Amino acid sequence: MTGNDKLAERFKLATRFRFTKELIFEDLKEGHDVIALPDKLIIIADPESYERDLPSLLAMAKLGERDPLLVTFFIEPEVKSRDEKYCQMFSELITLLRDAWVMKTVQEYTPELMDKSVRDAAIDRLNSASVSFFLYDPDVSLYLKLPEATGAPYEAGIDDVPNRHYVVREKTKKKEWRQ
């Protein structure tokens, strides 16, 4: 199969996800990522990832179309060193829920490609406090509730200046920065 044939196959499957934003496929030597920007979605992957994970990558892009912060972890530009570990913990925590929502999205748009055991395994990865969040439609505001629901020593919010990003800090009594 030629490079053009492979690209055509990617777009053929992508049409099933009914994207409303521009979708771009880029090649990478190793690994994969989905970048969701306000005006476009970029899937960057190596050939093996495109072959093995294309439905999941498209599902991540679909979530990113809804809200870029569902799949792209932008944090405040000037993170205090004491809050760096909380940013890492928050990223790991929301990844569990994001992965479950990816599986749910794959099942919604390409059910014949979704093995029930794979979906159940994704749900099993969620801890008991976040399982109930999976039942809702994907919404970044649910990510912000996870730290409290899991008893984390930090809290998370969203700031829009200079660009929309997460703010993750040690728990404090001040709440004015939260949105």
Backbone angles phi, psi at 114, to 5 degrees: -105, 115
Same domain, 88 and 158: yes
Of 41, 69, 97, the residue that ends a domain is 69
For residues 78 and 35, what is the distance between their CA atoms, to the nearest angstrom?
21
- Asked whether residue 112 is assigned to any structural domain, the reply reads yes
- Asked whether residue 74 is assigned to any structural domain, the reply reads no
- Asked whether residue 39 is assigned to any structural domain, the reply reads yes
Of 69, 95, 115, the residue that ends a domain is 69
- pLDDT tens by residue, 24-78: 999 999 999 999 988 999 999 999 999 889 999 999 999 999 999 999 888 777 7
Backbone angles phi, psi at 165, to 5 degrees: -160, 165
- Asked whether residue 179 is assigned to any structural domain, the reply reads no
- pLDDT tens by residue, 67-117: 999 998 887 777 788 888 999 999 998 988 888 888 889 989 998 887 666
For residues 172 and 178, what is the distance between their CA atoms, to the nearest angstrom?
11
| Of the candidates 109, 116, 120, 82, the residue with the CA atom closest to the CA atom of residue 16 | 109
The mean predicted confidence, pLDDT, of the chain is 85
Same domain, 95 and 64: no
- Asked whether residue 150 is assigned to any structural domain, the reply reads yes
- Asked whether residue 178 is assigned to any structural domain, the reply reads no
Q: Is there a contact between 146 and 166 (Cβ–Cβ < 8 Å)?
A: no
For residues 19 and 173, what is the distance between their CA atoms, to the nearest angstrom?
41
Under the banding of pLDDT at 50, 70 and 90, the label for residue 156 is very high
Identify the domain containing residue 113 by its residue range. 81-170
Same domain, 46 and 91: no
Across the range 142-168, mean pLDDT stands at 89
Number of domains in the chain: 2
pLDDT at 135: 72
